[in-house]
Amino acid sequence: MHPAYSIIIFTTASGAGYGLLALLCLFGALGLLPAERWLGLLGFGIAFALITAGLLASSWHLGHPERAWRAFSQWRSSWLSREGVMAVATYVPSGLFAAAWVFVETTEGIWALLGLVSAVVALATVCCTAMIYASLKTVRQWHSAWVPAGYLALALMSGALWLSFLASLFGLAGAGLLVLSLLAIALGAAIKLGTWRHNAAAAKDLTSAQATGLAKFGSVRQVEAPHSQANYLMREMGHRVARKHARKLRRLAVTTAFALPFALVLLALIAPAWLAGLALFLAVASSSVGLLVERWLFFAEAQHVVTLYYGAEVA
């Protein structure tokens, strides 16, 4: 599949934003973080900025962005529409919870309930984004439970790293929060590696003979190309990445998204406060770069069955 930069930015930025928002709301509602005004202002400000930037980036991929509002009407059948509805709905309870945190400096009582609701809705939005891809039977690499698991794990990993860094600025990044970040990184890495192994082992059992309905006559080969020049389907669905190039990018993604942040968080556990803050900042920066590479591969390595019509032997 063609890795559109707008969708890569959307999924990585909004994932990090929803992960940070969910953890802020959950920890605040449970009393695990103090309702400190400037922590809330900075934390929710970054979370909402990442979410909004991601949603705006997604509109760049539309041929007519001014018609994006129409997607909301198909929520009964479309995961894309459900994602839009959930994304807008998240702003309401989380906005109220953030206001209570920043202006009233409380997260107790009814505000705690709003915080829990906000955390659930934020993670549900990430699930809806993942299901846009996981629901597509025409893309073998996406049509599995690994995709929503990966989207959730990476969102929580990004959120945990952001929260650890922000908490360190206020002297609140205790061992518990750092250990949570380590566990989130380990979970994200395990699911990503598991996804790649699953995709490599999955059978490529669709052939061009089946696609054309001529399987009963034996194998099928193309006499000539179906089009004399590239068209939309060939550009969007027929993107190919060299295996050697993909291996290099996978190593880069694993190193920058998981290995280096894990080492930096370990350093933050034993380092003095100023060095811990720097290490956590570098962990956030490294994971952000790594997840952009990971998300590029997520799209570039996916193969749509329509490629069978354009010369691919199996899909």
- Which residue did the predictor score with more confidence, 131 or 235? 131
**Looking at residue 111, what is its pLDDT?**
95
Q: At residue 48, does pLDDT exceed 80?
A: yes
In tens, the pLDDT along 289-306 reads 999 999 999 988 888 777
In tens, the pLDDT along 55-95 reads 888 777 666 666 666 667 777 788 888 998 999 999 999 99
194, 241, 195, 208: which is closest to 315 by C-alpha? 208
| Beta carbons within 8 Å of 28's beta carbon, 6+ residues apart | 35, 40, 97, 101, 107, 112, 115
Calculate ∠ Cα 121-127-128, nearest 5°.
90
The strand pairing partners of 143, in sequence order, are none
Token pair for 273: 């406060």
For the chain, which domains are there? 5-310 (1.20.1630.10)
Token pair for 265: 């968080």
The strand pairing partners of 139, in sequence order, are 304
pTM for the structure as a whole: 0.90
In tens, the pLDDT along 221-260 reads 776 666 666 665 566 665 666 667 889 999 999 999 999 9
Residue range 204-230: mean pLDDT, rounded: 70
Residue range 171-193: mean pLDDT, rounded: 94
Dihedral in degrees, nearest 10, Cα atoms 130, 97, 156, 54: 50
